[in-house]
Amino acid sequence: MKNPQETENSEIRSADQPSDERQYDWEERYKQPNSAPWDSGLPAPELEEYFASLGQGNYPKLVLEIGCGTGTNAIWMADHGCAVTTTEIAPTALEAAQKKAAAANKQIDFHLIDICETKPVADGTQDFAFDRGVYHIIEKSKRQLFVERVATALKPGSLWLSISGSKDEYRENPDVGPPQLSAIELLTPIEPHFAVIKLERSYFILDDGRKHLAWKALYQKR
Protein backbone atom coordinates (compact mmCIF):
# COMPACT_ATOMS: atom_id res chain seq x y z
CA MET A 1 0.00 0.00 0.00
CA LYS A 2 1.23 3.53 -0.76
CA ASN A 3 2.39 5.58 2.12
CA PRO A 4 0.76 8.96 1.29
CA GLN A 5 3.63 10.90 2.79
CA GLU A 6 6.22 8.95 0.82
CA THR A 7 4.43 9.13 -2.50
CA GLU A 8 3.72 12.83 -2.39
CA ASN A 9 4.71 14.38 -5.76
CA SER A 10 5.22 10.96 -7.25
CA GLU A 11 3.30 7.98 -8.43
CA ILE A 12 4.46 4.41 -8.62
CA ARG A 13 5.94 3.45 -11.97
CA SER A 14 5.46 0.04 -13.52
CA ALA A 15 8.62 -2.09 -13.50
CA ASP A 16 8.74 -2.60 -17.27
CA GLN A 17 9.39 1.02 -18.22
CA PRO A 18 12.78 1.47 -19.89
CA SER A 19 15.82 2.41 -17.86
CA ASP A 20 17.45 5.79 -18.23
CA GLU A 21 20.70 5.85 -20.19
CA ARG A 22 21.06 9.61 -20.57
CA GLN A 23 24.50 11.19 -20.87
CA TYR A 24 25.32 14.67 -19.62
CA ASP A 25 27.90 17.32 -20.30
CA TRP A 26 28.53 18.07 -16.63
CA GLU A 27 30.84 21.01 -17.21
CA GLU A 28 28.23 22.65 -19.44
CA ARG A 29 25.52 22.07 -16.84
CA TYR A 30 27.52 23.82 -14.13
CA LYS A 31 28.35 26.71 -16.47
CA GLN A 32 24.76 27.41 -17.48
CA PRO A 33 22.65 29.35 -14.98
CA ASN A 34 19.94 27.28 -13.24
CA SER A 35 20.96 23.99 -14.84
CA ALA A 36 22.22 22.21 -11.72
CA PRO A 37 18.94 21.85 -9.76
CA TRP A 38 20.41 19.09 -7.56
CA ASP A 39 22.80 21.65 -6.10
CA SER A 40 20.63 22.77 -3.20
CA GLY A 41 23.55 24.16 -1.20
CA LEU A 42 22.38 22.11 1.80
CA PRO A 43 24.01 18.95 3.16
CA ALA A 44 22.21 15.75 2.16
CA PRO A 45 19.67 14.79 4.85
CA GLU A 46 20.67 11.13 4.37
CA LEU A 47 24.26 12.01 5.24
CA GLU A 48 23.20 14.01 8.29
CA GLU A 49 20.99 11.12 9.45
CA TYR A 50 23.78 8.61 8.96
CA PHE A 51 26.28 10.63 10.99
CA ALA A 52 23.65 11.22 13.68
CA SER A 53 23.13 7.45 13.89
CA LEU A 54 26.87 6.97 14.49
CA GLY A 55 27.08 9.64 17.14
CA GLN A 56 29.83 12.19 17.70
CA GLY A 57 33.17 10.53 18.25
CA ASN A 58 32.31 7.65 15.91
CA TYR A 59 32.37 9.50 12.62
CA PRO A 60 34.52 7.92 9.88
CA LYS A 61 38.04 9.30 9.66
CA LEU A 62 39.03 8.90 6.02
CA VAL A 63 36.22 9.60 3.61
CA LEU A 64 35.91 9.48 -0.17
CA GLU A 65 33.16 11.46 -1.87
CA ILE A 66 32.62 10.65 -5.53
CA GLY A 67 31.28 13.49 -7.70
CA CYS A 68 31.37 16.18 -5.02
CA GLY A 69 29.80 18.87 -7.23
CA THR A 70 30.22 22.25 -5.55
CA GLY A 71 31.41 20.62 -2.36
CA THR A 72 28.55 21.10 0.13
CA ASN A 73 28.67 17.54 1.49
CA ALA A 74 32.46 17.32 1.44
CA ILE A 75 32.71 20.51 3.49
CA TRP A 76 30.02 19.27 5.87
CA MET A 77 31.98 16.03 6.46
CA ALA A 78 35.24 17.97 6.92
CA ASP A 79 33.38 20.10 9.45
CA HIS A 80 32.58 16.87 11.28
CA GLY A 81 36.24 15.98 11.57
CA CYS A 82 36.61 13.73 8.52
CA ALA A 83 39.67 13.82 6.26
CA VAL A 84 37.85 14.11 2.95
CA THR A 85 39.07 13.20 -0.54
CA THR A 86 36.79 14.02 -3.45
CA THR A 87 36.57 13.35 -7.15
CA GLU A 88 34.79 15.52 -9.68
CA ILE A 89 34.90 15.73 -13.48
CA ALA A 90 33.47 19.24 -13.98
CA PRO A 91 36.18 21.90 -13.49
CA THR A 92 33.61 24.64 -12.81
CA ALA A 93 32.03 22.60 -10.00
CA LEU A 94 35.40 21.71 -8.51
CA GLU A 95 36.56 25.32 -8.60
CA ALA A 96 33.37 26.36 -6.76
CA ALA A 97 33.96 23.58 -4.22
CA GLN A 98 37.55 24.68 -3.66
CA LYS A 99 36.45 28.29 -3.11
CA LYS A 100 33.75 27.24 -0.65
CA ALA A 101 36.20 25.03 1.25
CA ALA A 102 38.75 27.85 1.44
CA ALA A 103 36.07 30.26 2.69
CA ALA A 104 35.07 27.70 5.33
CA ASN A 105 38.73 27.13 6.20
CA LYS A 106 38.45 23.38 5.48
CA GLN A 107 41.26 21.27 4.03
CA ILE A 108 39.87 18.88 1.43
CA ASP A 109 41.83 16.75 -1.01
CA PHE A 110 40.09 17.65 -4.29
CA HIS A 111 40.79 15.67 -7.48
CA LEU A 112 39.62 16.62 -10.94
CA ILE A 113 39.30 13.05 -12.17
CA ASP A 114 36.85 10.53 -13.53
CA ILE A 115 36.71 7.80 -10.90
CA CYS A 116 36.25 5.20 -13.64
CA GLU A 117 39.60 6.22 -15.14
CA THR A 118 41.84 7.20 -12.24
CA LYS A 119 42.05 6.02 -8.65
CA PRO A 120 41.72 8.97 -6.27
CA VAL A 121 43.21 7.24 -3.20
CA ALA A 122 45.45 4.29 -2.35
CA ASP A 123 43.67 0.93 -2.26
CA GLY A 124 42.02 -0.15 0.98
CA THR A 125 42.51 3.15 2.81
CA GLN A 126 39.06 4.75 3.23
CA ASP A 127 36.64 4.31 6.14
CA PHE A 128 33.56 5.56 4.30
CA ALA A 129 32.40 6.47 0.79
CA PHE A 130 29.58 8.79 -0.19
CA ASP A 131 27.89 9.69 -3.43
CA ARG A 132 24.73 11.65 -3.99
CA GLY A 133 23.41 11.36 -7.51
CA VAL A 134 26.59 9.99 -9.09
CA TYR A 135 26.29 6.19 -9.27
CA HIS A 136 22.93 6.57 -11.00
CA ILE A 137 24.36 8.73 -13.81
CA ILE A 138 27.16 6.33 -14.69
CA GLU A 139 26.41 4.64 -18.00
CA LYS A 140 25.39 1.02 -17.65
CA SER A 141 28.56 -0.39 -19.25
CA LYS A 142 30.71 1.37 -16.62
CA ARG A 143 28.62 0.76 -13.48
CA GLN A 144 30.54 -2.38 -12.54
CA LEU A 145 33.85 -0.53 -12.86
CA PHE A 146 32.51 2.38 -10.79
CA VAL A 147 31.48 -0.02 -8.02
CA GLU A 148 34.87 -1.77 -8.17
CA ARG A 149 36.60 1.60 -7.81
CA VAL A 150 34.59 2.46 -4.71
CA ALA A 151 35.16 -1.00 -3.24
CA THR A 152 38.90 -0.85 -3.94
CA ALA A 153 39.21 2.48 -2.14
CA LEU A 154 37.57 1.19 1.05
CA LYS A 155 38.96 -0.83 3.92
CA PRO A 156 37.25 -4.24 4.28
CA GLY A 157 34.00 -3.83 6.21
CA SER A 158 33.73 -0.10 5.48
CA LEU A 159 30.46 1.45 4.34
CA TRP A 160 29.25 3.32 1.25
CA LEU A 161 26.21 5.58 1.46
CA SER A 162 24.77 6.12 -2.01
CA ILE A 163 21.73 8.15 -3.08
CA SER A 164 20.25 7.31 -6.50
CA GLY A 165 17.07 8.08 -8.41
CA SER A 166 14.37 5.42 -8.22
CA LYS A 167 12.46 3.98 -11.13
CA ASP A 168 9.48 3.49 -8.85
CA GLU A 169 8.55 7.14 -9.45
CA TYR A 170 6.20 7.56 -12.38
CA ARG A 171 6.93 10.56 -14.59
CA GLU A 172 5.08 11.88 -17.61
CA ASN A 173 8.49 12.72 -19.06
CA PRO A 174 11.25 10.48 -17.65
CA ASP A 175 13.88 12.91 -19.02
CA VAL A 176 12.85 15.56 -16.50
CA GLY A 177 14.46 14.79 -13.17
CA PRO A 178 17.30 12.55 -12.00
CA PRO A 179 18.05 9.26 -13.76
CA GLN A 180 16.00 6.38 -12.45
CA LEU A 181 17.22 2.90 -11.54
CA SER A 182 15.14 -0.11 -10.60
CA ALA A 183 16.24 -2.04 -7.51
CA ILE A 184 17.71 -4.72 -9.78
CA GLU A 185 19.64 -2.20 -11.88
CA LEU A 186 20.89 -0.55 -8.72
CA LEU A 187 22.05 -3.70 -6.96
CA THR A 188 23.31 -6.00 -9.73
CA PRO A 189 26.74 -4.34 -10.02
CA ILE A 190 26.89 -3.83 -6.24
CA GLU A 191 26.22 -7.40 -5.15
CA PRO A 192 29.67 -8.95 -5.95
CA HIS A 193 31.54 -6.33 -3.90
CA PHE A 194 29.18 -5.13 -1.19
CA ALA A 195 26.58 -6.52 1.20
CA VAL A 196 23.39 -4.45 1.31
CA ILE A 197 22.94 -3.13 4.84
CA LYS A 198 19.97 -0.86 4.09
CA LEU A 199 17.87 0.03 1.07
CA GLU A 200 15.18 2.61 1.74
CA ARG A 201 13.12 5.25 0.02
CA SER A 202 14.31 8.80 0.18
CA TYR A 203 13.97 11.96 -1.93
CA PHE A 204 16.12 14.29 -3.91
CA ILE A 205 14.94 17.72 -2.87
CA LEU A 206 15.92 20.12 -5.60
CA ASP A 207 16.91 23.77 -5.27
CA ASP A 208 13.34 24.86 -6.11
CA GLY A 209 11.79 22.46 -3.58
CA ARG A 210 10.68 19.80 -6.12
CA LYS A 211 11.06 16.22 -4.87
CA HIS A 212 12.07 13.08 -6.73
CA LEU A 213 11.91 9.59 -5.34
CA ALA A 214 15.34 8.14 -4.55
CA TRP A 215 17.08 5.08 -3.17
CA LYS A 216 19.06 5.61 0.01
CA ALA A 217 21.44 2.68 0.08
CA LEU A 218 24.02 1.69 2.65
CA TYR A 219 26.46 -0.96 1.48
CA GLN A 220 29.27 -2.74 3.31
CA LYS A 221 32.41 -3.81 1.50
CA ARG A 222 32.69 -7.60 1.52
Residues that bind ligand SAM (CB under 6 A): 26, 38-39, 66-69, 87-90, 93, 114-116, 132-134, 137
Q: Which residue is nearest to ligand SAM (CB)?
A: 67
Cβ at position 67, least distance to ligand SAM in Å: 3
Judged by beta carbon, residue 26 or residue 50, the one nearer ligand SAM is 26
Judged by beta carbon, residue 137 or residue 157, the one nearer ligand SAM is 137
DSSP string, the chain: ---TTTTTT-EEPPTTSPPP-----HHHHHHSTT--TT--SS--HHHHHHHHHH-TT-S-SEEEEES-TTSHHHHHHHHTT-EEEEEES-HHHHHHHHHHHHHTT---EEEE--TTTS-SS-TT-EEEEEEESSGGGS-HHHHHHHHHHHHHHEEEEEEEEEEEEBTTEE-SSTTSSS--B-HHHHHTTTTTTEEEEEEEEEEEE-TTS-EEEEEEEEEEE-
Cβ at position 191, least distance to ligand SAM in Å: 21
Judged by beta carbon, residue 114 or residue 185, the one nearer ligand SAM is 114
Judged by beta carbon, residue 67 or residue 189, the one nearer ligand SAM is 67
Judged by beta carbon, residue 34 or residue 195, the one nearer ligand SAM is 34
Cβ at position 4, least distance to ligand SAM in Å: 27
Cβ at position 152, least distance to ligand SAM in Å: 14
Cβ at position 222, least distance to ligand SAM in Å: 23
